[in-house]
Amino acid sequence: MKTFGLLPSALIGAVASARSMTPMATIAIARLAGRAAPGRLVLLDQPLFEFGALFMGVGELLGDKMKSAPDRTVPLGLLARVMSAGIAGAALAPRGREKAGAAIAVATAVSLAYLTLAGRKRAMARVGQTRSGLIEDALVVAGAAAVVVLSTRRR
């Protein structure tokens, strides 16, 4: 049962594998909507970081469609995934299990980043960069919203 309690952390790590800033942006939106995460929030309990996460999430969704956008597996891309997945994974973990939630989210994000990149490259070859990015955005944002809504409660 304890392992199942960390499932939201693993799932938000999968989100971070494709869009590094979406996990934190989704939790920030949930907080603004009056929802509370089960675990402690690191940084996102500060308004500056909360709004910064929203801004960065939107910026990433827009920037991903640019031809100059780097692969998600470059060192800075992986670092962003580690940070975002760790913060979000801890927030969605049961109280007292934040470190385990962060570790699971980070491991999921980094390992799946290579798989999601391969899938995105195949999709780009078939439908182009912009269309594949928009499809990936829709899937990732919907997944993040579902994970966060199902893992948080009304304050």
Integer Cα distance of 126 and 130 in angstroms:
11
So what's the pLDDT on residue 138? 97
So what's the pLDDT on residue 1? 42
Structural domains of the chain, count: 1
Structure tokens that stand for 83 in this block: 């940070």
- Determine if the pTM surpasses 0.85: yes
155 residues of the chain, pLDDT tens digit each: 455 799 999 999 999 999 999 999 999 999 999 999 999 887 777 888 889 999 999 999 988 778 788 899 999 999 999 999 999 999 999 999 999 999 999 999 999 999 999 999 999 999 999 999 999 999 999 999 999 999 999 98
| Closest-CA residue to 74 (of 154, 14, 20) | 20
What stretches of the chain show up as alpha helix (H) in DSSP? 7-18, 22-32, 47-63, 75-92, 98-127, 129-151
So what's the pLDDT on residue 3? 56
**144 neighbors 26 (Cβ within 8 angstroms):** yes
Domain with 100, as residue range(s), is: 4-154
